[in-house]
Amino acid sequence: MKVIRTTPPSFPRCAPDMPLESTPGLRWQVLCGDAGHWRCGLYSPPQSDRDQIVELERHDCPELFLLVEGRLTLVIGDGKGGVREVELAAGSPVLVESPHSGYCPNGPHTGTAFVVERDEFSTEYRPPSGWKDV
């Protein structure tokens, strides 16, 4: 198990009222935020199959996922050491509180989700089987 603490400000500076720059092919890119409150970014995992996921992460606060393009499936811990899948659908946000990861079934970085989370939080990482009764 590993734990990482994210502290504010946890996002890059950007020019307000202008389009934000993003870089294709990154797993996670923080775009902007409001210090002490929230940050948002783009999530596009390199995994293309559930079997490629070796760990799930869980924040000590919820985060919101909204599909922007392509296909992206969230892998969510079931509390019994197993997982279930939630395929994101355009226009249907998903609030995630459980241990999770994701993959793009059409190949690496072929799906992208917009994610909103807090500016300060802790993240715990464990293998899927390590989330039993946690």
Express each pLDDT in 50-93 by its tens digit.
999 999 999 999 999 999 999 999 999 998 989 999 999 999 99
Percent of residues, the chain, with pLDDT higher than 90: 93
Query: For 36-61, what is the mean pLDDT?
Result: 97
The whole model's pTM is what?
0.94
Q: What pLDDT is recorded for position 87? A: 98
Res 49 pLDDT > 90: yes
Which domains does the chain possess? 2-13+25-128 (2.60.120.10)
**What pLDDT was estimated at residue 133?**
75
pLDDT class of 132 with cuts at 50, 70, 90 = confident
Residue 134 has pLDDT above 90, yes or no: no
- Cα 129 to Cα 77, 87, 100, 113, 133, distances in angstroms: 9, 21, 12, 25, 10
Q: If DSSP states are collapsed to H, E and C, what string results for 1-36?
A: CEEEEECCCCCCCCCCCCCCCCCCCCCEEEEEEECC
